[in-house]
Amino acid sequence: MTAVAIQTGVSLVTVLLVAWLVGKIGLGADPRIEDEAHAIRLAEEAEAGFRGIEVARDRAGFAAIVQNAQGRMLLVRAHGNFFAARPIDASVIGRLDKDFLTLTTPEKTFGAVTLQLGKDAGMWASRMRNIVRA
């Protein structure tokens, strides 16, 4: 065997190993919020004591608004390969555009989130207007 053939074989094995590792640890995954129960579970994991009762889930599953019995709301979204949640309070800016609700948090790293909520977008925007400004 020549040195070139050995080097090519080692390179191929290395590339296959890296590809396998990437798949194993989930890099490049496309996380989605599967359903309302999944959104509630994510919100409850994000904030101790939060008990979600109602959900507005983006049609594509990238984000959801979860509300508890006291009217508090958490915004849950895909963030990299994981999920992140932030409270929806007076600092969050909401913008309604037909079936879409865009929420912008003051935290730049969290970014703006647009949820396609269909006919329920207006109702959730209205709920946000009821949040008392601190």
Q: Is residue 91 in some structural domain?
A: yes
What band does 128 get if pLDDT is binned at 50, 70 and 90?
confident
> Based on the domain organization, do 47 and 22 belong to the same domain?
no
> Based on the domain organization, do 4 and 42 belong to the same domain?
no
**Token pair of 40 as six digits:** 């509630």
* Averaged pLDDT, 14-34: 75
Q: What is the pTM of this model?
A: 0.76
Length of the chain in residues, anyone?
A: 134
> Based on the domain organization, do 57 and 101 belong to the same domain?
yes
Number of neighbours of residue 122 by Cβ within 10 angstroms: 14
What are 29-71's pLDDT values in tens digits?
678 999 999 999 999 999 999 999 999 999 999 999 999 999 9
Considering its fold, how many domains does the chain have in total?
Answer: 2
Could you list the residue range(s) of the whole structural domain that residue 77 is in? 36-129
Q: Is residue 107 in some structural domain?
A: yes
What band does 9 get if pLDDT is binned at 50, 70 and 90?
confident
Q: Is residue 134 in some structural domain?
A: no
Per-position DSSP letters for 97-132, written without gaps between them: ETTEEEEE-S-TTT-EEEEE-GGGHHHHHHHHHTSP
> Based on the domain organization, do 46 and 96 belong to the same domain?
yes
- Give ∠ CA 53-55-57 in degrees, rounded to 5: 160
> Based on the domain organization, do 41 and 79 belong to the same domain?
yes
